[in-house]
Amino acid sequence: MVGLPGCGKTTQLCQMCRDGWLAFDDFKDNAFDNCSEFRKSRKFRALIRALRDGLRCVVADIDFCKEESRAEAVTVLLAEVPGVKLDWRFFKNDPSACEANIKSRNRPSLPDELKNLQRYSEFYDIPQGAVVLPVVQNSQT
């Protein structure tokens, strides 16, 4: 799942958990060696085990706004779990709506979230033909 900070990823993940999915939110957060490589996630082994066990999993991280980050994830997942079905879902690139959601949460991390919003929105490019979800307005994402 791909989207800017404040777009509704966590809200969507919570709904998917209620529908039986295993969610891995902020997948690369607090990674080993503070590295953005997909395999360096502290959640990587758990994800691979779950996929090998045939569980439905959803992975979200703002770093997936970068095409190269998504390509790396696909390469690694197909190597680790041959035949796994992958399906990307993108939230609309709507920085104004995301900013309103971030500000409404009033978290201590507000400055960092706004900085990440600005940074990622500049290069977030949704592939043509992708499934695009609307930004969840006034959510507690």
CB burial class (10 A; 0-12, 13-18, 19+) of residue 95?
buried
Give tens-digit pLDDT for 107-140.
898 999 999 999 999 999 999 999 999 999 864 4
Asked if residue 86 has pLDDT above 90, the reply is yes
Contact partners, residue 96, CB within 8 Å, separation at least 6: none
Give tens-digit pLDDT for 25-82.
999 999 999 999 999 999 999 999 999 999 999 999 999 999 999 999 999 999 999 9
Please compute the mean of the pLDDT values over residues 14-34 and round it to a whole number. 96
d(CA 64, CA 2): 6
Nearest Cα to Cα of residue 98 among 30, 2, 13: 2
Q: pTM for this one?
A: 0.90
Q: Where does the pLDDT of residue 141 fall: very low under 50, low under 70, confident under 90, or very high at 90 and above?
A: very low
Domains of the chain, by residue range, sit at 9-133
What does DSSP assign to residue 4? -
